[in-house]
Amino acid sequence: MRITYYGHSCFGVETKGKHLVFDPFITPNELAKDIAINSIKADYLLISHGHGDHVADGVAIGKNTGAKAVSNFEIISWFEQKGVPGHPMNHGGKVQFDFGVVKYVNAVHSSVLPDGTYGGNPGGFVVWNDEVCFYFAGDTALTMDMKLIPATCPKLDFAILPIGDNFTMGYEDAAIACDYIDCDKVIGCHYDTFGYIKIDHSAAKKAFVDKGKELILLPIGESLDL
């Protein structure tokens, strides 16, 4: 599978011939100004919660590509009202798609859509098939609920965790989350985009190395084959 970073918490994942896009927030992100949203392929849009920095380009990409949105019931109702079809889920539920299984898992955060519509409770996703299993945490604090992931899902190959602090856990707590989710390889997200979440990259990587973990900070626009 191939993962591409589009800045903030937005990633493209190509697996089993399908393109998944997580938390599309590109055009408002000055750091991602070189990413053209019209060039992004998507069969599915996975939306962790309703905040603008996770849904901003969702409707545009959905309409460009014909992608189906996957999120909680409230967010999918909002996408469908805007003409993007979706698959509604809620916490603890999993569903088999043509690329693999998606489980919607707990996040400790808040959620409202940009126009004030109630966004339900925020979540994250565990995605697996016969080539990969990974966790996309969305925006969350460190929470004991993360221990449910290794208890209920296949062994993770990697996790995408927020590390920017202030609105989510910081890198120190994300390094602890590695133990809770039983996964030593992390791709960081939700850092540097705004003043509140600017971080020292070498200090973040050191916090992981000191615990025997790996933190990958992908440059925006770059891909990794995993």
In the complex, the smallest distance separating the C-beta of residue 3 from Mn ion, rounded to whole angstroms, is 19
- Residue owning tokens 């992981």: 208
Residue 126: strand pairing partners:
103, 135
Phi first, then psi: what are they for 86, rounded to 5°?
Answer: -150, 170
In the complex, the smallest distance separating the C-beta of residue 217 from Mn ion, rounded to whole angstroms, is 17
The smaller minimum CB distance to Ni ion, of residues 97 and 194, is found at 194
Q: Which residues bind Ni ion (CB under 5 A)?
A: 51, 139
The smaller minimum CB distance to Mn ion, of residues 51 and 100, is found at 51
What is the CB-side half-sphere exposure of residue 191 using CA atoms within 13 A?
23
In the complex, the smallest distance separating the C-beta of residue 115 from Mn ion, rounded to whole angstroms, is 17
In the complex, the smallest distance separating the C-beta of residue 22 from Mn ion, rounded to whole angstroms, is 12
The smaller minimum CB distance to Ni ion, of residues 39 and 196, is found at 196
The smaller minimum CB distance to Ni ion, of residues 19 and 51, is found at 51
Packing angle between helix 171-181 and helix 201-209, nearest 10 degrees?
30
Task: Report how far apart, in Å, the C-alpha atoms of 49 and of each of 31, 105, 139 are.
Answer: 22, 12, 8
Q: Which residues bind Mn ion (CB under 5 A)?
A: 51, 53, 139
The smaller minimum CB distance to Mn ion, of residues 69 and 107, is found at 107
31 C-beta neighbours (distance < 10 Å), count: 13
In the complex, the smallest distance separating the C-beta of residue 57 from Mn ion, rounded to whole angstroms, is 14
Task: Give the pair of three-digit tokens for residue 5.
Answer: 């970073």
The smaller minimum CB distance to Mn ion, of residues 196 and 222, is found at 196
In the complex, the smallest distance separating the C-beta of residue 54 from Mn ion, rounded to whole angstroms, is 6
DSSP code of 67? Answer: P
Helices (H) then strands (E): counts for the chain: 6, 14
What is the CB-side half-sphere exposure of residue 135 using CA atoms within 13 A?
33
